[in-house]
Chains A and B, each alone.
Chain A
């Protein structure tokens, strides 16, 4: 395919003549500018002089088609077909389009087949003829996907025949894009624009291609297309879709209505109006649109497919599934419908049904990358182990099931109990929790392709996320991520999936912080600097920070800011208002008003009140950072020529203090470093990131063998930032050093939520728990250790058997000791334990 596109592009650049009928040249210009009435008038004038000109009749039919007068279009096109002359194939293609838009598939298909036959029978074929054959072939691909390849080849031939005839290139670009080959589509559209940078259709193609890549340039490109042709219906439809995705339903409606002013029977525009009415809870208007669409085309499955696609983007997965069902009921060849049905069934945890729907979609259209990727992922589901628990169904890769399952089991149940009590709500069960050890698999599960920058996703009753193996050590805390997603399960369930994104995300982060100290993100200098720069959004506009970020870190800042909003609300109004709001979103037609009604405050007041809260909460840090910012003193300090004095060297500037402290620490001037680092900590005590003063001070005190101070620093660090794996390990050692093995074990338990793959971690944990006589906990640690496949498996089985024996679980102890001796029959300690177990006498302990 790549080669083919390259050849097409070569063709475009080699030749440059236009083979347009001179009489139609001006019409074409008017059409491209969107001046349809003038274009129609011009053709009619030409027709008055030459009433039997099939080319002119086709042109008029095409203009009528474009402006939604299907009857008039059909009449003109049939007249054209009665006459001899050029352009017959294009007229047939246009007439087939009329039938297609009316849902008259048989008539349309019959014409497409006829057009296709011309490839064999016609004595010579122009570029337009070839374009017509390519387009007919593309349509027939719906029944035979192999024909898409033919269509590509034929568009290529058309382009070679007349490189200035851009329709073929544009159609090919659209086909490539439709089949998820954006890499080539993008190249093609850009190349077409080098031939004519004012072709609004090529610009629209480029905008679509940019949108495919999530590029923010898509809007600007589409607006440029609109500036050249404000009446191009597909561009208006594209803009309406963009606005729906941005949850700007008013603007979306305006765009769809503008499209309908040009073409009142545009099914695509009507479908988008249907989407908007559904999202805005206008059931009456939705029914009217639905009726209107089905009256125009009783088999227009894409109406429901479009609904399924776009309401799913607003997290209404059950609605999406229902719409997709209707799409495939209406048209059993709606491969798009089957694809959307399958994707949404999978999102709802209907794995087998979802897979069957996807397979049906793939059989009809094997070029949809999302479907293909998801089916490939589904093929690996046999490698996963599913275990049922009281409220959950947990799905883990078999390689990490034994390791993670016990920890997940405890965590999800704990989260469920806590959240159920807090929200006074029981979501539908079982809640399906899937963890993927390969980030690409999680990404496909989430968005159908690799590369998504998320850690977890909640579809309502289904949570999917990265397992700790999917990321480098310390990159994320999988325990808090899981808790976050489970909070979403409650939010979505209570609100019928209608909760705004900022609300649900902020609340979920806040729930992480409620779950464990140090979970759920913490304040960073970046965040407060963004506040000082005025880049943080007011609460009333916070959703924009999630769906329309305007600077690279805005999404991250918005998560944290939104979590502070809920911290503030709970402190001032109590949790009831949050709970009541969630329930109110279910039926509200005005989501922006829901929270304000509960708080009995207007939007501006909330913005101001929160701003005050933030300023007060971080007053010290803000003051220090403001001085840093004012002095523009963020450049790394150079090596001081003389030892600096903490009292005189920029005493109120956070970055200066921190960086001088770090510099002196690196130079091993520990005493001097300590004073700077402590000063930095006083200036910004809430910051405990990896480059904060806490870790440096802890390390400094360790070097000085000041263990109490080191421990105090680490305690403070993990109370804010529990994602610091080395801090937790070090803290465990220090706690154990002063004999507090329970606290040491607690630190290691928390480290498991960051990185559970280190044998030593479980070994130490087992040791601490054994010293406390917590034999069930020892057994859990020993099981985890075994799951990590240690070299000395006989010893690992023996230690597990011993833990079971001590916990009073003799049958498990018996089983494990046989495994140990199976590997090492002469293992003396295991032999003795076996004999003791058979004699029912307590075994002598020899714990490692």
Chain B
């Protein structure tokens, strides 16, 4: 049984009825004009709905908004700075070790001498303010997504171990309203972002989807892009524009999903455990082979890949036949 528990931990699922919990804080900032107020409200609502659909307990979702969100049944408080600080404190109290905390900022931002700030009713919240508030979450994996303009400096302030920080812009100088947030939120609601077809959208996939669709939008309008999103998940404080599973940034984001991990009842069959172990081993082999791709002759690489893929396909059939 110990072996089984270790194995399931390694697989990213929890062998207990109660899995690790996801906590989500959505902060809808001020829009300034009606068009942005409506846009940000829509984004926030969509994000909320995606979180519910992803299985996050409504009780673990905190929604703070500068405007009313008519399509959201859950009551929400105003997104001013004290309320944000209080909400983070509440999450810190509620979250267990190993839980995951997602903070999504939707709105405008602006550069400041000390980095950048996110615009709120009343005093804005700076990257440093947010960093201080999150400092208490030492035992949780924290994901911060700032979709605002001039959000780049948030990476500097928030980067750290067990942290994924995503910003819509690469610096405070990119201070025009962004499109990134639209596509980041859409990544969880629409099809197309789940590029590895595992029926979940990882933070890396959502980032890649949003980045590419944002760029496509600028290209379509023949405009120079005024935003360049970054992702940092290796704690070095340097965001990557094109993170990936095998790149400097991206490995952690590739393993973190919005979806609440499914709880697995104890007593999974030994056969299923064995099949799952073999499947993971095959996936690992495929991953290793892909790492070696540049060093192998093309035909050799694809021949070896095909062998592994066929084994994996057959094994997957077996797992599905057993109801997995």
Contacts and interface: CB of A to CB of B under 8 A. Distances in A.
B209 interface: yes
Most-contacted residue by chain B among A790, A795, A822, A825 (CB, 10 A): A825
B191 A792 contact: yes
A805 to B, nearest CB: 16
A751 to B, nearest CB: 14
B291 interface: no
Nearest to A814: B306
Contact of A830 (B197, B282, B306, B314): B197
A791 interface: yes
Given A824-B196, A826-B316, A830-B197, A791 B208 contact: yes
B306 A818 contact: yes
A789 B212 contact: yes
A475 B191 CA distance: 32
Interface stretch (A272-280, A388-396, A605-613, A831-839): A831-839
B230 to A, nearest CB: 18
Interface in B291-324: 302, 305-306, 308-310, 312-314, 316-317, 320
A359 to B, nearest CB: 33
Contacts of B310: 834-835, 838
Nearest to A758: B220
A637 to B, nearest CB: 31
A823 B195 contact: yes
Contacts of B274: none
Given A472-B222, A791-B213, A824 B286 contact: no
Given A822-B290, A834-B310, A835-B313, A827 B197 contact: yes
A155 B196 CA distance: 69
A143 to B, nearest CB: 45
B250 to A, nearest CB: 14
A793 interface: yes
Contacts of A758: 220
A46 B116 CA distance: 84
Interface residues of A, number: 26
A827 B194 CA distance: 10
A824 B312 CA distance: 11
A794 B191 CA distance: 13
B117 interface: no
A758 B216 CA distance: 9
B198 A818 contact: no
A382 interface: no
B57 interface: no
Interface string A798-839: 000000000000000000001001111111101110110010
B283 interface: yes
Contacts of A757: 219-220
B243 to A, nearest CB: 14
A831 B195 contact: no
Given A818-B302, A828-B316, A794 B196 contact: yes
Contacts of B26: none
Given A791-B212, A826-B316, A821 B309 contact: yes
A835 B283 contact: no
Nearest to A819: B302
A794 B313 contact: no
Nearest to B306: A818
Contacts of B317: 831, 835
Contacts of A792: 191-195
A831 B196 CA distance: 12
A473 interface: yes
B291 to A, nearest CB: 12
B262 to A, nearest CB: 16
B192 A790 contact: yes
Q: How large is the interface on B (under 10, 10 to 19, 20 to 34, 35 or more residues)?
A: 20 to 34
A824 B197 contact: yes
Contact of A831 (B193, B194, B305, B312): B312
Given A473-B220, A791-B212, A818-B305, A832 B313 contact: yes
Contacts of B213: 791
Interface string A638-671: 0000000000000000000000000000000000
B275 to A, nearest CB: 13
Nearest to A830: B197
B305 A791 contact: no
B197 A794 contact: yes
Contacts of B286: 825
Contacts of A473: 220
Contacts of B290: 822
A789 B208 CA distance: 12
Contacts of B309: 818, 821-822, 825, 831, 834
Contacts of B196: 794, 823-827
Contacts of B313: 821, 831-832, 834-835
Nearest to A759: B216
B79 to A, nearest CB: 30
Contacts of B308: 825
Nearest to B210: A791
A834 to B, nearest CB: 6
B198 A791 contact: no
Interface string A460-485: 00000000000011000000000000
A774 to B, nearest CB: 25
Contacts of A827: 196-197
B193 A791 contact: yes
Contacts of B192: 790-792, 795
B216 to A, nearest CB: 8
Contacts of A472: 222
B76 to A, nearest CB: 31
A826 B197 CA distance: 6
Contacts of B197: 794-795, 824, 826-828, 830
Nearest to A848: B191
Interface string A185-198: 00000000000000
Given A791-B193, A831-B312, A834-B309, A826 B209 contact: no
Nearest to B320: A828
Contacts of A828: 197, 316, 320
B195 A824 contact: yes
A826 B222 contact: no
A647 B308 CA distance: 77
Given A757-B220, A818-B305, A791 B195 contact: yes
Nearest to B302: A818
A20 B309 CA distance: 93
A801 B5 CA distance: 40
Interface string B255-292: 00000000000000000000000000011001000100
Given A757-B220, A790-B192, A794-B195, A826 B305 contact: no
B225 to A, nearest CB: 15
A824 B310 CA distance: 13
Interface of B: 191-198, 208-209, 212-213, 219-220, 222, 282-283, 286, 290, 302, 305-306, 308-310, 312-314, 316-317, 320
The 10 A-B pairs of least Cβ separation, nearest first, read: A831-B313, A827-B197, A824-B197, A824-B196, A792-B192, A791-B209, A821-B309, A825-B286, A791-B212, A792-B195
Interface of A: 472-473, 757-758, 789-795, 818, 821-828, 830-832, 834-835, 838
13 contacts: A790-B192, A791-B209, A792-B194, A794-B195, A794-B196, A821-B305, A821-B309, A825-B283, A826-B198, A827-B196, A831-B312, A831-B317, A832-B313
Given A758-B220, A826-B283, A828-B320, 6 more contacts: A791-B193, A821-B305, A822-B305, A826-B312, A831-B313, A831-B317
